Amino acid sequence: MNVRILLFLFAIATTGACQAQEPTAWRNGTDGIYPASNLMDQWPEDGPEIIWTYEELGQGHSSPVVANGFVYATGMEEGTGYLFKFDMEGNLVYRKAYGPEYKESFYGPRGTPVIVGDRVYLISGYGNVYCLDESDAGKIWETNMVDDLGGEVITWGYNETPVIDGDKIYCTPGGKKNNVVALNRFNGNVIWSCPGKQELSAYCTPLLFNHNGRKILATHTASHLLGIDATTGKLLWSHKHPNRYSVHANTPLYRDGGLFFFSGYGKGSGKLLLSADGTSIGLEWNNPMDSRMGGAVYLDGYIYGSGDNNRDWRCIDWATGKDMYTSSELGKGVVIAADGKLYCYSDRGELALVNVTPDKYDLVSETRVVEGSEQHWSHPVIHNGILYLRHGKALIAYQIKK
């Protein structure tokens, strides 16, 4: 066969492989549970070993992400957002500008980059949706959710990690017409648009889940939780859930026909039951857990997370909504899980290892994050026995494997 034909066929095959690669996702698919084993049962007295730190990220609250043997992060310097790429030893591969970033309050990027093959997708605090070339951060396409889709920058900026499935990228402009949209991830064109309840967006990264063969996108806007057919964009149902500042930064959790939703400022949480075809809902229970932006995890029939006005950590029975315990041993904050343990990161800078049990808040080890700057809000990431944590200008890699 002609060499040129062979090279052409190889290029098609490798391109298809890149395009078919599974996208990374914030909180490992938004459930906050990371696949890991052989992690430490207890940390040394001074905390797990820090194997590397980078302290020049600039301002921001986004989480790091690991893909293709590299670590990616975003940060802002003098109003410009930058994409950083590191090798696994913490060496900087590149630092490339992508555009203006949020500098009105709580400065810097919020949403986490998503890597799919050779492309990087991210949403800035001003609503710019970017598709970048992974190799050099060169811009492939860009659309603005305000200028192009009729959205509005909300009080503390857009705070959304894009959700990607196949050729679609889902995001929430919050416009009267284009309230929630699916864009073509290869060119940024609108595939479908849902008017939702015609409310502003609400800092929420959507949840994409499969319910009896139907793909449903669930996300919060200012006063409602929406359920949208992810294939057609049809609004299937809505549930009213307002709070004081229209902040609903927690992605819902889905399990076996049930959907757990929660937000802060005293509003609390609840569980919806979906009908068999996913077109209607019923409220099963409510609970006081009112996490503002720390997420929650579902493990073995229980939900674990912390509050906001209700500052305690708690375990909730998934079936009944009953509190199994409450605890104020740690400041309120973020929770993820791996290998039978909770990893809790408080807004006071405490990083803790907690056994997963509904019997009590079983705190095993605790350390304090002193590197970095400003608020302790970013969500940690676990990959290959290393916990990556962004605190303002610092990206920290902790060795947590035995």
Tens digit of each residue's pLDDT (9 = 90 or more) over 244-272: 999 999 999 999 999 999 999 999 999 99
pLDDT confidence of 21, banded at 50, 70, 90?
confident
User: Per-residue pLDDT for 3 more than 70?
Assistant: no
3-state secondary structure of 126: coil
| DSSP secondary structure string for all residues of 301-319 | TEEEEE-SSS--EEEEETT
The CA distance from 137 to 104, in Å, is 25
The CA distance from 397 to 90, in Å, is 8
Secondary element (H or E) of residue 13: helix 3-20
- Please give the structure tokens belonging to residue 292: 């503002």
- Please give the structure tokens belonging to residue 66: 């690991």
Between vectors from CA 383 to CA 336 and to CA 340, what angle results, nearest 5°?
A: 45
Q: What percent of the chain has pLDDT over 70?
A: 95
* The predicted structure's pLDDT at residue 36: 94
* The predicted structure's pLDDT at residue 265: 97
Residue (of 247, 258, 161) closest to 216 by Cα position: 258
Q: What is the mean pLDDT of residues 92-107?
A: 97
Residues 6 or more apart from 77 whose CB is under 8 A from it? 58, 59
Which tens digit of pLDDT belongs to each residue from 337-361? 999 999 999 999 999 999 999 999 9
User: Per-residue pLDDT for 6 more than 90?
Assistant: no
* The predicted structure's pLDDT at residue 15: 41
